[in-house]
Amino acid sequence: MQTAVGASVDLIARHQHPGGAYPASPTYPVYGYCWLRDGSFIAEAMSRAGRTESADAFHGWCARVITARAGHVADLVQAARRGEEIDPRRMLPTRYTLDGGDGDEPWWDYQLDGYGTWLWALVEHTRRHEIDPAPYREAVEITVDYLATFGADACYDWWEEHSEHQHVATLGSVAAGLEAVLAIGLLDADRAEAAARMLARLRELIAGPGTVNGSLVKWLGSTAVDGSLLACLTPFGLVTPEVAEGTYQRVRTELRRAGVYRYLGDTFYGGGEWLILTAWLGWHEARTGRADLARERLAWVTDQATAEGWLPEQVSGNTQDPAYIAEWTAKWGPVATPLLWSHALFVILALELGESL
């Protein structure tokens, strides 16, 4: 009999576009696109599950999407070097159509985290399966040029919000990508130097104003905590054990009810408990000797599945502000279900705990 883990892997594979892109959700009206952030973690789950061809296809799709925009990135970098003020609408998109286009629906574009996360996921995949990364060189170089120029700038966060801030999870995602690609020696000397300079700057920001009272914070100048910060601990490993523990404890105590909130005050579908973040908390717990707690997170995520075995984006049993549920439902319909990112984090946590496919 197939396990729930294997079923999640198969669900992801069924919905992967022939070109390699993963839709955020195949059923939700505005999630029929591929985000580099979501897609990279979905590819990481498939890579860990041994679905090498699926992860290969995604990374190949990303490489084609990025190399197709080489001239645009070069123009942006040159404009920045000339000291020009760049309209954020000129920056690379946050999400792409499944065939690699920009799309024509308005969205909260200009998010840097996905590009850093892609570099990290690519390196993880090629190392895990002993794949030569050289065919990705051009796309990696273009991405590094982009991030080495803009990687510390203010932009939208993981949640498409607050473009005026420098978000610590975004800084961490970019840092993780640059650090990963520097370690495999794929860059020429000039790019490696530029990437190393930006990485050092990002690490200074994260360890400096990005850390308050022993915990990472939502954005520079804030004292709040955000569930996306878990990525800076696991898997990126960007902070000291003390800061990792302080951040973990804040997420666990301030943002967790049964599942984990994105942040306090969230009103998207009332601000419910997110499956990816609950699994992420468990992922960190599994990595830090808290397997019993991690299994509790896995069980909770499993319990949120629909009769079809689909995992939603969030659930509303402990919603922060239920008055907003109707507003978002009227706008876009019920909560996105299935969300492929939820299935991916479920797979990652389950495999981390030794569960079988």
Active-site choice (179, 226, 285, 313) = 313
Active-site choice (56, 109, 157, 266) = 157
Residue 34, strand partner residues: 96
Two tokens, residue 182: 């520097």
Phi, psi of 74 (to 5 degrees): -60, -40
Q: Say how far apart CA 223 and CA 333 lie, in whole Å.
A: 33
* 157 catalytic residue (yes or no): yes
Please give the C-alpha separations between residue 197 and each of 13, 37, 82, 179, in angstroms, as whole numbers: 38, 23, 19, 11
Q: Say how far apart CA 44 and CA 52 lie, in whole Å.
A: 10
Residue 216, strand partner residues: 211
Two tokens, residue 169: 């999870």
* 296 catalytic residue (yes or no): no
The amino acid at residue 98 is L
* 313 catalytic residue (yes or no): yes
Active-site choice (160, 245, 296, 321) = 160
Q: Say how far apart CA 76 and CA 86 lie, in whole Å.
A: 8
Instruction: Give the position of tokens 């995602």.
Output: 173
Specify whether the CB–CB gap between 47 and 351 falls below 8 A.
no
3-class secondary-structure state, position 350: helix
Q: What is the DSSP string of 170-217?
A: HHHHHHHHHHHHHHTT-S-HHHHHHHHHHHHHHHHHHHTTTEETTEE-
Instruction: Give the position of tokens 């960190």.
Output: 284
Q: Say how far apart CA 213 and CA 190 lie, in whole Å.
A: 37
The amino acid at residue 154 is A
Distance of CA 223 to the CA centre of its chain: 22
CB atoms inside a 10 Å sphere around CB 292: 9
Q: Which residues are catalytic?
A: 157, 160, 313
